Chains A and B, each alone.
Chain A
Amino acid sequence: MSSPSVPHLDTELAERVLVRFLREEAGRAGFTRFVIGLSGGIDSAVSAYLAARAVGPENVISIAMPWHLSSAESLEHGRLVADAASLSLDVVDLTDAAQALLAELPEPSPHRIGNVLARLRMITLWDRSFAERALVVGTTNKTELLVGYGTLHGDLASALNPLGDLYKCQVRALARHLGVPAIVIDKPPSADLAPGQTDEADFGFTYDEADAVLDRMVDRRHAPEDIVAAGFEESLVRSIHERVVRNQYKRRGPLIAKLSRRTVGWEFRYPRDWRT
């Protein structure tokens, strides 16, 4: 299938709802400020634009967190996004911290190095969150959440995530609607783990393929065999389905061993917005 049909988005409605979501949910918890990591990519750009519209750019702390192997383009695009959204950009260089930690770890693989950096960024963002009473805004989209493309306690960590119910193609549509610079929208998505690395090469499928399959599988509840019957490659559908199942643990908190009659997460189930 050459150009799979991807889920549509009412971008005007989405902007309105997501801006309200950020403003009201932060307000419930007594916050009026946000902190966000700008990678130079499209997801953090969209989150930053929404945050700026929710509380005003002067109330959004944006931070770029490169290290010595990060591509120069990432920082450049981070600056471009910050300028376009009228945000002042802080740069926290993680090279020394990362190298000090990595020196203590036995033979870290590229995957582990990627996780270490994602978690150092998390530490940096949550420190600023505490210091400046600003909530960390998430940047993980629905495609990544479902296929498990994110680091637990790293980039998956946030207080509020406006993108978690938007597939990657919908993030692109929203980015265009919001006026994110085209160069950021059009470049191949990359976690910047190594020079030339792209998300789609890691997956073995494109975001459009993933979005088309996930929309059918998750939103429309089509069985995998029906999606294959509709013309999608069986290996593609199987690969995506396996990733969705295998990565369920990343979408939930840790399991708690049940002993009492009232266990957190089972009988003790309260809304997060409890009494706000």
Chain B
Amino acid sequence: MKAALAQTAPQLANVAANFANHAAIVDRAVAAGAELVVFPELSLTGYLLMEATPEVAITLDSPRMDALRTLSKRAALAVGLVEEAPGGRYFNSAAFLDGGELLHVHRKVYLPSHGLFDETRHFAIGDRIRAFDTRFGRVGMLICRDFWHLGPAYLLACQDVDVMCVLSASPGRGAESDSGRFESGASVSLLGDVYGRSFGCHVLHANRGGVEEGVTFVGGSEAYAPDGSLLARGKDEECDLVVVEIDPAARRAARLRMPFLKEERPHLILRELQRVLSERSAPRY
């Protein structure tokens, strides 16, 4: 099975134009043999939306979602959008669609709000991290900062996830290292390696490129194999389409060689975590 990482540079707050670009990219990915196309975070809207956030939001029963359902008859899709939910809540969401059906929505849990990030101002906080079944195996989705925290990936691993889809919009920060890449981009590569290796899963990380508000997004989308090896990498900063082979036999082999999941102790982790939190919750003064 082939999967594609669609490294796009969305127009900012122009859903119609971005949807048209999604459709064009799905055509190219399908032509290259891909059955799954992973797009970046907020791929339908662009990232630095500010007060335009509610104006580009879509509900899950909207015509725009119907158009995505239709598009998913060509290939399975993981797309990033602003989801409008009841109660005036807007989520930074990832939708997984396949065969004309919406299979799952992940709402970003870790909303960075520091430095140039201002996500809690505009978005409500997601409250679940769930894997779901697809024809590609068990899939879990994470959105950008969700991936930097260790907990969400661990929770997906405990749900026997086979393919971790990560949708990111990572602004480049730090140009002093002489590595030829932004320092912030290099950190993300380490995580893909570790999660693939530790959880014996494929990691499909689509990271957007382009420039928005003077901010350059790092691109460099990556696919990692279940042994932690890098399968493919997109170009730095610019748009790209990366197609990789995702082989279930590779997961089986990796998990036999290093049976981390078989020997994982989630109950111990839960028990100890509860103890740690209860001890920490008492105010000292």
Task: State yes or no: do A and B come from one complex.
Answer: yes
B210 pairs with A24, CB closer than 8 A: yes
**B50 with A20: CB separation less than 8 A:** no
B185 to chain A, nearest CB (A): 10
- Chain B interface, DSSP helix/strand/loop, else mixed: loop
Q: How many residues of B contact A (CB 8 A)?
A: 29
Task: Indicate whether B52 reaches chain A with its CB closer than 8 angstroms.
Answer: yes
Number of A residues near B (Cβ < 8 Å) is 25
Q: Nearest-CB distance from B265 to chain A (Å)?
A: 40
Give CA–CA (A187, B48) in the complex, Å.
Answer: 40
Interface membership of chain B positions 80-117, coded 1 if the CB is closer than 8 angstroms to chain A and 0 otherwise: 00000000000000000000000000000000000000
User: A13 contacts B181, CB within 8 Å?
Assistant: yes
Known contacts A12-B180, A20-B216: A274-B13 contact under CB 8 Å: yes
Chain A, Cβ-Cβ closest to B47: A271
Inside 8 A of B46's CB, which chain A residues have their CB? 273
Known contacts A271-B212, A273-B212, A273-B213: does B13 contact A9 (CB below 8 Å)? no
Do the beta carbons of A8 and B176 come within 8 Å of each other?
yes
Tell me the complex Cα distance, A275–B214, Å: 15
Tell whether, in the assembled complex, residue A21 and residue B214 are in contact, meaning their CB atoms are under 8 Å apart. yes
CB interface residues, B 168-189, toward A, < 8 Å: 172, 175-182
Whether the Cβ atoms of A273 and B48 lie closer than 8 Å is: yes
- Asked whether B178 lies within 8 Å of A10 as measured between CB atoms, the reply is yes
Please state if A20 and B237 are interface contacts (CB–CB under 8 Å): yes
With an 8 A cutoff between CB atoms, is B11 at the interface?
Answer: yes
User: Min CB distance, B183 to chain A, in Å?
Assistant: 9
Contact B238 A270 (CB under 8 A): no
Query: Contacts A10-B176, A274-B52 given: A17-B216 contact, CB under 8 Å?
Result: yes
Contact status A268-B51, CB under 8 Å = yes
Which residues of B are at the interface with A, using a C-beta cutoff of 8 A?
Answer: 9, 11-14, 46, 48-52, 172, 175-182, 210-214, 216, 236-238
A17-B182, A17-B216, A273-B212 known, 19 other contacts, Cβ within 8 Å:
A10-B177, A12-B180, A13-B175, A13-B181, A13-B182, A16-B236, A17-B172, A21-B216, A24-B210, A24-B211, A25-B211, A160-B214, A269-B50, A270-B50, A271-B12, A271-B52, A275-B11, A276-B11, A276-B12
